[in-house]
Amino acid sequence: MIPMIREKHYIPSPAEIEAACAEIQSGWSDQEKAARRAKTSRPAIRCSYEIVRRDAGSALVGKLARIRQAVA
């Protein structure tokens, strides 16, 4: 069992974190391990330069419009 530490600013060491994770994962079935691995794999994110440029430009135009209204 993992001991509960009630200190105010306790930061576990990497070894303690690894041991706690291993203890938790030891109770997982093979199916649960496979399901959890599937949840952590992320699809590749494709990002177009033009889309980023367009969105940044739109945000900038909106911000400039709000500033002009505040100054006027």
Q: What is the pTM of this model?
A: 0.40
Residue 63 lies in a domain: yes
Nearest to 13 by CA among 26, 36, 5: 5
Residue 48: per-residue pLDDT: 82
Q: Which amino acid is at 11?
A: I
Residue 23 lies in a domain: yes
Residue 1 lies in a domain: no
pLDDT over 70 (residue 2): no
Q: Count the domains in the chain.
A: 1
Determine the Cα–Cα distance for residues 40 and 37; give it in Å rounded to an integer.
5
Determine the Cα–Cα distance for residues 57 and 59; give it in Å rounded to an integer.
5
Q: Mean pLDDT over residues 1-9, rounded?
A: 66
Q: Report the helix count and the strand count for the chain, using DSSP H and E.
A: 3, 0
Residue 42: per-residue pLDDT: 63
Tens-digit pLDDT profile for residues 12-53: 899 999 999 999 999 999 999 888 887 766 666 677 888 888
